[in-house]
Amino acid sequence: MARKSKKEAENTRNTLYQISLELFIKKGYNNTTIDDICKKAGVTKGAFYNHFKNKGEVIISSWKDLDEEVMRRVSSQNYQSNKEKLIALCKGMFDYVDENRREWTKVIYTLQINADQPSYMVSKERNIFIVYQEIVEKGQQEKEFRQDLDAEFIVHMILVYTRGIIFDWMLHSTEKLGEENMELLLPFFDTFDPKLERVTK
């Protein structure tokens, strides 16, 4: 049997990925089996395991794809400050889910809320969390961000706030994420201005 080309393998992975998400939201994550996914995709279980270790890895893969794409876009640009780069990363998340990924985002958020296992979405092992923390630490060293708050805590605040904006958008709007969403985001970063550092005795 001829070995599949890289493009064919990529197409198979994408098909399995999309069908998995569709079935997770339709039947529920726990009620969806790998057999269900393979049957609908028209592939063998071996094909599934060539791309994913288990169902949970499909979910983790979706977040890794988002992180990689957002970081790729942001890394290709130059920024005047660490704050500007952080805002670009947040906007990159908005742009990613805005590009016809509303349903994808709804599926992922729903699965993470209902998951029995810890959510990779909030994991400190996520690449994007690590990148955010590196930027914040650099900003603190350069006196751009307040130093009375731990860098990890600042990153946690930023990601909670960003996810909140996306979640609120899904609840209230059918329109694209727009300038009004960025207007909610930008003043938030003033929270980390060094002038707001708590005075300690």
Tell me the percentage of the chain whose pLDDT exceeds 90: 42
pLDDT of residue 62: 81
Mean pLDDT across the chain:
86
Q: Over the stretch 89-134, which tens digit does the pLDDT of each residue have?
A: 999 888 888 876 777 787 778 777 766 656 778 888 888 999 999 9
The residue ranges of DSSP E strands in 2-47, in sequence order, are none
Please classify residue 118 by burial: count the beta carbons closer than 10 Å to its beta carbon, then call 0-12 exposed, 13-18 middle and 19+ buried: exposed
Q: Over the stretch 173-198, which tens digit does the pLDDT of each residue have?
A: 767 777 777 888 889 999 999 999 98
Mean pLDDT of 4-17: 86
pLDDT at 199 over 70: no
Q: What residue spans define the domains of the chain?
A: 1-52, 55-196
pLDDT at 1 over 60: no
- Cα 195–200–201 angle (5° rounding)? 140
CATH number for domain 1-52, candidates 1.20.1730.10, 2.70.180.20, 1.10.10.60, 1.10.760.10: 1.10.10.60
- Choose among 142, 133, 145, 135: nearest CA to 197: 145
Fold for 55-196, please state it. Answer: Tetracycline Repressor; domain 2 (1.10.357)
Whole-angstrom Cα distance, residue 137 to residue 132? 9
Q: Which two tokens stand for residue 82?
A: 């660490």
Whole-angstrom Cα distance, residue 122 to residue 63? 10
